[in-house]
Homo-oligomer: A and B are copies of this chain.
């Protein structure tokens, strides 16, 4: 956990006021910079101490054999693990002869600021060496959102009260040592020295290292160049060896004098391009960076964010913690995706090695909904990545004796990397989640080109998968057996409601898409009979319901399973303390599953069902997954438990700023950070789109006095400003100047001429707020 006072609650930045070495790894994740292509953990400039050193390039991975004590047919043989690539962040400093190291001497001041509008990480240090020399260092770091291959660091050293000889060693370091990892299965595999040296070059002020991974045979080039400004004499020297390149800058500073170094970094990797091509690519990127210059890079970065925040910002009056956190979350979601450009968005973005750097259903299920409404181009890019691995997904389906495509549960490059099939391959719902993301993109943006370019194939092949997985029983009812829904504590079940509804939606969406793209569908061999069969299966899908209790069953028979024996001694997360063999056949739920179905397939449930289902499942959900709190927030808000929804919103929002899951060290929880937006906008804003119309139905909890959010919808930009009593919708621009939305279930036409203000309906809960399992009630963290 990170204490509530670790970072002052400030609306547009995350500021660390002093260095806490015990939380170094967590801060490295929080202060990570990325553009979706390059990711730099917030390691200290001087390289150590560190929690986990981390420099990542999206989809740059190494393969490793997956071991099985007892193997089985269809188990993936190779895993993919993100690689800590050549570290260009390092700027070591010697003060006279003593290395600047925060663990020695006196650290009089140490502040780090992640600026959510500037897109930079700034560090301010005042340090007195063991020999008594005092210096100030101010460094500012950015990963350019505009120049995709470029990162840059401005590093300024100032002598304070005496003449000081200052030596700065700016480095590129490959094959850094990694700390030992724990046994927690959510942590990544450790790769030791994964990079083979291919080439090294040094010129006076810059250098370049080229390496290659041993098994995956990916080549990476990293290059640096420097601008050095200093009043007096300076000596600059550069060397390069296989795993290190170093530019050394030496000068003397009188009190008040400053040495300023701008370090430009360029990265590139390829599985195809030759060494010279790659070398030239990074050299070119470096030249581009020098040409733009430090100030130019800074300016472009801010301009990017200005435009983003203009539409996407969320204002939360009354809860400054959530206000800060929702912006922090959107900032990292943008960082993880905006220049990913048809590569995966991993569960932890490029902020740490957790989950081996894999992408899961988190992307389509939790991150893309936010991007679709706030940065639709980035959503389209991510979907194009999915479509690009369709052939691998078809091969996987074929291996499993199935039709269509079976997308991987976890992967970097597209191959299935899940070594535990009950919570991997059996979680077929990932395919419907992907289909839904395509469908949502089309609905929200009105852009049909993605569907015709690549979405249709994805819809058709996932529909075919479902048809070969499901079957009709003797009464004509369609079933999906042996599946695992979102809740990983209840696996390999019959007729999981979430999966069944999502599959039915996938089948209908595919049939509709084929009707819209009849010619292409015909070329893909889709017949009228085939789409009719899809609709028939969708219409006859079994939805288990316990009439006695009046609640849906998460899966067939769920409500008759044994109850979990919660006690005051129950320790969470359960998966680290209880075997699957006990968890699976019990009514204990890791994360929203049936409750998530009620958000994503809202129209399939009545209000009364939603109320009773929330009540039933809240009592059994332990929230051992970071993919749960935001969903619980949304559905608690819908059924009128607004305070509970607020608690869940805080939990989703503060997951990393407070390290609530104790693993922020391994990277940020991108889905939960995105989920903060969802909790606010879908929860308190009531946003739904599962019926192809923009539906809103706001209601605020007591403490939040005002919530304002902006959305992209079709070619419109829309803002909603919600108070406890009313909502004002502003249609900022768009074709015809008018748009019909659904507000609180009724159609409402907005115009660009004037904002529309509507009184909110009163939201009353039909049941009292439910309790959660012992120790699992969400807490109001802002109260700390």
A interface, CB within 8 angstroms of B = 66-75, 79, 183, 185, 399-402, 418-422, 425-426, 471, 473-474, 479, 481-483, 491-492, 494, 548, 556-557, 560-563, 575-582, 584-586
Contacts and interface: CB of A to CB of B under 8 A. Distances in A.
Q: How many copies does the complex hold?
A: 2
A584 B70 CA distance: 17
A72 B474 contact: no
A185 B421 CA distance: 16
A396 to B, nearest CB: 10
16 contacts: A67-B69, A68-B68, A69-B419, A70-B185, A71-B185, A73-B575, A73-B576, A73-B578, A73-B580, A471-B562, A479-B560, A479-B562, A483-B585, A492-B585, A494-B557, A556-B557
B185 A580 contact: no
A481 B562 contact: yes
**Interface of chain A, helix or strand or loop or mixed?**
loop
Contacts of A548: 474
Contact of A575 (B72, B79, B560): B72
Nearest to A492: B492
A426 B471 CA distance: 27
Contacts of A425: 579, 581
Given A73-B578, A482-B584, A492-B584, 20 more contacts: A66-B69, A67-B69, A68-B69, A69-B79, A71-B183, A72-B420, A72-B580, A73-B580, A74-B581, A75-B579, A400-B582, A401-B578, A401-B582, A421-B579, A425-B579, A426-B581, A474-B560, A479-B560, A492-B585, A556-B557
A73 B577 contact: yes
Contact of A68 (B67, B422, B585): B67
A577 B399 CA distance: 9
A573 to B, nearest CB: 10
Given A481-B562, A562-B481, A585-B481, A419 B577 contact: no
8 closest A-B pairs (Cβ-Cβ)?
Answer: A482-B585, A69-B419, A74-B579, A67-B67, A481-B585, A471-B562, A66-B69, A70-B420
Contacts of A75: 579
Contacts of A66: 69
Nearest to A79: B69
Contacts of A71: 183, 185
A499 to B, nearest CB: 12
Contacts of A402: 582
A533 to B, nearest CB: 15
A428 to B, nearest CB: 9
A179 to B, nearest CB: 19
A666 to B, nearest CB: 15
A73 B185 CA distance: 10
Given A471-B562, A474-B560, A481-B562, A579 B185 contact: no
Nearest to A580: B72
A487 to B, nearest CB: 14
Contacts of A584: 482, 492
Contacts of A560: 473-474, 479
A436 B359 CA distance: 49
Given A67-B68, A422-B422, A585-B481, A73 B494 contact: no
Contacts of A562: 471, 479, 481
A720 to B, nearest CB: 42
Contacts of A73: 575-580
